[in-house]
Amino acid sequence: MNTTDSKYVLDLSPEDYQKAKTEVAFLLDAFASTIDNIMGGNTAPVGRIAGRDTASKLPVHLEDPTLQDIIATLREQMKAGFDFSLDNNGLLFKSCIIREMCAVRKIETGGALCHLFHSYFDGIINGLLCRPVKSSFVSVGEECRLQTAVQ
C-alpha cells in the first residue's frame, strides 16, 4: 500500500478540523458528565484506574524514577496537547487541550472533565512511580496549578 498515493490522502480544511474539535469536545463532555452523574461526583477512582492502565502501556522504561523524571517523560509524551511543568509550588499546566475542550463547550474550567482528567493523570504517575499520587486544584483559569502529593 502506497500511502502517498492520492487515493489515501485526506484533504482537510480548517473547517473540518474545527468540526472535529467540536465533536471531540462534545464527546468528552458527555463522557465526563455521565461518569460524574453515575459516580455522584467521586470520579477519582475511575480516572486513576484508567491512568494506571495507560501507564502500563506507555512505551517508556524508567529505572527508579522520581516524580520529576516522570513529569519530564510525560511532558515529552503529551506535548502535542499539553504544556506542563513541576516546580516547588506543584504542577503548572500552561496549555491544556482539556481546557480548550471546556472552552468549546462553554464548560467552567475545574469541573467534572478537569477532575476526571487530573485523576487519570495521577493514575499515570502512580503507575510509573509505583506509589499513590493525589493532586488537588490550587487555581484554575488561563493556567492551572495543582498540588501533587506522593505517598
The pLDDT of residue 9: 76
Cα separation of 29 and 113, whole Å?
7
pTM: 0.87
The bridge status of strand 82-87 relative to strand 90-96 is: antiparallel
- Beta bridge partners of residue 136, listed in sequence order: 147
The set of cell numbers assigned to 71 is 513529569
The set of cell numbers assigned to 117 is 482528567
**Domains, the chain, with CATH or none:** 12-150 (3.30.1380)
The pLDDT of residue 3: 53
The pLDDT of residue 4: 57
Give pLDDT tens digits along the chain (151 positions): 445 556 677 788 989 988 999 999 999 999 999 999 998 888 899 999 999 999 999 999 899 999 999 999 999 999 999 999 999 999 999 999 999 999 999 988 999 999 999 999 999 999 999 999 999 999 999 999 999 999 8
Cβ neighbours of residue 66 closer than 8 Å, sequence gap 6 or more: none
Tell me which residue of 89, 103, 96 sits closest to 118, measured CA to CA.
Answer: 96
Tell me which residue of 37, 39, 59 sits closest to 49, measured CA to CA.
Answer: 39
The pLDDT of residue 11: 83
The pLDDT of residue 39: 87
